[in-house]
Structure 1
Amino acid sequence: MSLHVSRWLRYLTLLVGLTGLLPGAGRATSTLDDTPRIAVLSAFQGELALLLSRVDAPQSYTVNGVSFTTGVLQGKPVVLFLSGVSMTNTAMTTQLVLDRFHVTHLVFSGIAGGVNPALNIGDVTVAQRWGQYLEVLMARETAPGKYSAPPWMDDVKLPNFGMLHPRPVTVRSDGHSEESKFWFEADAQLLALARSVQGTVLDACDTTKQCLTHSPKLVVGGNGVSGQAFVDNRAFREYVFNTFEANVLDMETAATAMVAYSNGVPFIAFRSLSDLAGGGGTENEMDTFLSIAANNSAKVLLAFLAAWK
């Protein structure tokens, strides 16, 4: 071996050793489990608790601080995890599960704020499409109470709420290098399956005997919207209903819908009303009815998985 080659090999050995000390170096990017699975996600623990308790043969994984549980739920191979609250967390963890597991479908379960005045706390909604309604232009005030978009911004078409003018988001996917979209559709076959479980019996009371004054129902279809704000404002709630014809609003689902679209993975979301987003009584009701709403969403999802052939 020549002196030149010997020095080159020693250099490579040193380089490989140093690379192993760099942040993220050598981090595995392969899938952790090759079984085709339905990914089931919720924003926080209280929403996922009932579903986790029903998983057979659970096995745990942790990636980037996110815990994943694989197993069987209602006879279907699943991977369950928490998305985290709000849009960025949800987008990150949804992509993470797609990268590390063999995911065939994405299914969200959790609570939401009610927007449609025809719906009540405890009702479960399965929206046909989801939009990111807080992707906005904060417009210049050109006269008292009047706000205008720059003339070159030609995608501001929806009615505004004061200075807030909704806009579409830009998304890339296999089919499109770049496109602007506002609505992201739930999978049509999954929606049809959701309609088949409309007879699911929903809870009107929780374990503490906190009860609703009505019998909750399942509503399939209509619109849902998501954004990085907790809404507890009657005027804004009315604007959201009038502008987007939304049944519900939350802080995560549209992010998962966008990631699902970008990756070509079928998606659906079950959301139960824990509060009326400012349209209820003298204070927000989420803390009071969270358990009923979370369990109702999970019960519909369990019936949905049981009906899945």
Structure 2
Amino acid sequence: MVQYKPRIVISRCLNIAPVRYNGGIINDEFSKKLLDYVEYIAVCPEVDIGMPVPRPTVLLYKKGDQIRMIEPNSKKDYTDEMLKFSETFLKSLGEVDGFLLKAKSPSCGVKDTKLYQENLKGLINARSSGLFAQRAMEYYPYLPIEDEGRLNDYWIRRDFLTKIFSHARFRYLKNNYKDINDLLKFHQEHKYLLMLYDPHTLKQMGNLLANWKKYGLDETMKRYANLFHRALSKKSDINKHSNVLQHIYGHLSEKISDSEKRHLLKMLDRLRKGKLQLETLLEYIKGFIYRFNDKYLQSQIYLSPFPEELI
């Protein structure tokens, strides 16, 4: 399967440049490996608004209903500058497939940045996202936006990779399609992947494609894009994976022996109980696909949604 390069925004301090508040750089193994597989746009909102390297620590605090950014020693408030930069940067960004930002940062953290009381003396019992990250989520509500800390979780990392590569494939399709067959082929290849995230929206997509002549090709593509983004804005979990794998089992059940059926169902049960890795089960299923030369399953992006080196 062709893997188109995702276009992602990444924090500049992640293996790219020493722009941390202390003049350091973050050596993150996963982010470093990912750089070889993506086209990236590096950003450091704090440096990009003119803050020096190294620089005094800034923090987020809550003032009324607003979250603001301040340097506590000098009391200099950077909120307006950060929001203005974020608006300008995001408006000029164009099409991207996701964001990988710096954990716990007052500009880039994703749901894990400390939030202080207005007097700056104590923490609020809640976490926030950084000001830049918040604006990115507003501009691109359907895209995966994560930080390197959250990607230490296997399921979050797998979702992130699945989504950025899926958005990249769709972006390529949207910019290069010639006729309805291109869209039909894309949809067929992504059937199980879309089922994983949003079976209801998958049905709507099928109905749209069945009636594409009613809307015309370009309008159908626009409507499909909205549905595709909606589906991939959802999260997966072990039960959703089990549902997809049950459908794949149904597809294979007439070809495999009774003992193989029992073993596959046993593996599915172990997966649901957290006693078997998803990758192990997928590799077992791929063995049947090669054995029976099953073209339909061979085409399914769900089984290989991103380069295996990244998992």
Task: Give the TM-score normalised by structure 2.
Answer: 0.27
The higher relative CO (CA closer than 8 Å, separation ≥ 6) is in: 1
Instruction: Report which of the two has the higher share of strand.
Output: 1
Instruction: Report which of the two has the higher share of helix.
Output: 2
